[in-house]
Amino acid sequence: MNVLVVGGGGREHALCWAIARSPLCEAILCAPGNGGIARDAECLALDPMDFDGIVAACRARAIDLVVVGPEAPLVAGLADRLDEEGIAVFGPRRGAAALEGSKGFARDLCRDHGIPGPAYGRFTDADAARAYIRERGAPIVVKADGLAAGKGVTVAATLDEALAAVDAIAAGRFGAAGAEIVVEECLVGEEASVFASVDGARALPLAGAQDHKALGEGDTGPNTGGMGAYSPAPVITPALAADIMDRVINPTMRAMADSGHPFKGVLFAGLMITADGPKVLEYNVRFGDPECQVLMARLDSDLLPVLAAAAAGDLGGAALKWRDEAALCVVMASKGYPGDYDKNTEIGGLDGLDADDLTVFHAATRTENGRVLATGGRVLGVTALGADVAAAQARAYAAVDRIDWAGGFCRRDIGWRAVGR
């Protein structure tokens, strides 16, 4: 098969790395890719939102399957366009991608189908949102309804923080994504990420993971796109995993099919494991980043047949095996992230780091005259395997310490909950 992966981040590097190992893969391309992805795939200078360019590339290169990494092109309808062109695609059409594209849509779906989630309100009027917040009190969660690159959520400890978050959304900080404001009950518990490959009518559960969204150690500070992750997630016991499939994943899949928008692709439920059981914090319609990196590191079977089967609507009989070892990913980011940061800072010390139990996935790099330069906020995902999370953590940080990057930083406590157990 000839495969095109759309995207250019750490998630897409992990997908290219895994797909390239499939005996079914004859050629793998990535649009646009990055400096690290170029080691595993041919990179095409195409924007993920350039639907015409992607279709033309598929025709020119006889692409058999397109795997869409990021959410924005899915929400904008890339899978619809590829379907219309007769090109197989792993990723949901626009109607199903609304699960991530609109937080209000996702909340209403949970409410209407008995899927556990927080109490919430939806507002197009900022004053009404402020009144709801004052009535409910803090802590409380304020969200821009649409896509905001993981930065449109404020977990407010005080009323002042919550009201300031409303002010920021209303002032246009997140553009069109803030046309509606969603205010939610602040759930208490332990977060976990659950993934399933879905073909429209069947769901194949994947391994679970936990990520660290907060910038600072101890999970403090502002939310980011993700500062690290590990798998498996100790909080997800086999019994809880079955409960999540019964109460969250399968009902969501059925609800989308009943609505006329069957879901094909990766259904990713971000959950809070509360005293009352799992509750949906958010849905995503693609692999998580950096969760994808740890899932691919633990995968012990061929990913490509499962992606192709889901795209074809026929997951019957599909299965995946997972390594017993734990995997942990430490994200290295440019200093200043998630605010302003310098670009094109040089990264050294990467040569010779990759091994059977360690891979450095690139999220935002380019190469120039043999030099590796950082081009974005989250730049590297140093991913290690170990007998348990503690061993994987030690191996990952030992590799981090060998990387020479004065313009970068990372959290030093990724996996702290699992290690503490």
Regarding whether 217 and 138 lie in a shared domain, the answer is: no
Q: What is the pLDDT along the chain (421 residues), one digit of tens a residue?
A: 999 999 999 999 999 999 999 999 999 999 999 999 999 999 999 999 999 999 999 999 999 999 999 999 999 999 999 999 999 999 999 999 999 999 999 999 999 999 999 999 999 999 999 999 999 999 999 999 999 877 789 999 999 999 999 999 999 999 999 999 999 999 999 999 999 999 999 999 999 999 999 999 999 998 888 999 999 999 999 999 999 999 999 999 999 999 999 999 999 999 999 999 999 999 999 999 999 999 999 999 999 999 999 999 999 989 999 999 999 999 999 999 999 999 999 999 999 999 989 999 999 999 999 999 999 999 999 999 999 999 999 999 999 999 999 999 999 999 999 998 7
Q: How far apart are CA 173 and CA 176, in angstroms?
A: 9
In-domain check, residue 110? no
Structural contact between residues 66 and 87, judged by C-beta atoms closer than 8 angstroms:
yes
Regarding whether 81 and 15 lie in a shared domain, the answer is: yes
Greatest CA span in the chain, whole angstroms? Answer: 59
**C-alpha separations of 291 from 33, 52, 231, 396 in Å:** 18, 30, 8, 15
Q: Is the peptide bond before 139 cis (omega within 30 degrees of 0)?
A: yes
In-domain check, residue 67? yes
In-domain check, residue 384? yes
Q: How far apart are CA 269 and CA 216, in angstroms?
A: 23
Strand 264-274 and strand 277-284: the pairing is antiparallel
Domain count, the chain: 4
Regarding whether 367 and 295 lie in a shared domain, the answer is: no
Regarding whether 275 and 300 lie in a shared domain, the answer is: yes
Strand 345-347 and strand 371-374: the pairing is antiparallel
Structural contact between residues 311 and 303, judged by C-beta atoms closer than 8 angstroms:
no
* Structure tokens that stand for 179 in this block: 């046309």
- Comparing CA positions, the residue from 242, 359, 354, 341 lying closest to residue 296 is 359
Regarding whether 349 and 297 lie in a shared domain, the answer is: no
Regarding whether 197 and 171 lie in a shared domain, the answer is: no
As beta bridge partners, residue 65 has 3
* Structure tokens that stand for 40 in this block: 């595993």
In-domain check, residue 115? no
* Residue with token string 């300031």: 164
In-domain check, residue 101? no
Regarding whether 198 and 173 lie in a shared domain, the answer is: no
Q: How far apart are CA 36 and CA 373, in angstroms?
A: 11
CATH number of the structural domain spanning residue 332: 3.90.600.10
Strand ranges across the sheet with 365-368: 345-347, 371-374, 365-368
Regarding whether 57 and 21 lie in a shared domain, the answer is: yes
What separation, in Å, do the N-terminal and C-terminal C-alpha atoms of the chain show?
A: 43
Regarding whether 297 and 211 lie in a shared domain, the answer is: yes
* Structural domain span for residue 130: 125-179
* Domain end among 179, 198, 218: 179
CATH number of the structural domain spanning residue 203: 3.30.470.20
Exposure of 24 by Cβ count < 10 A (0-12 exposed, 13-18 middle, 19+ buried)? middle
* Domain end among 93, 113, 134: 93
CATH number of the structural domain spanning residue 163: 3.30.1490.20
Where residue 197 falls (left for φ over 0; alpha for ψ -120 to 50; beta otherwise) is: beta
For the entire predicted model, the pTM comes to 0.95
Regarding whether 303 and 247 lie in a shared domain, the answer is: yes
Give the type of residue at 347.
Answer: I
DSSP 239: H
In-domain check, residue 120? no
CATH number of the structural domain spanning residue 61: 3.40.50.20
pLDDT value, residue 414: 98
Regarding whether 296 and 197 lie in a shared domain, the answer is: yes
In-domain check, residue 203? yes
* Domain end among 286, 311, 336: 311
In-domain check, residue 318? no
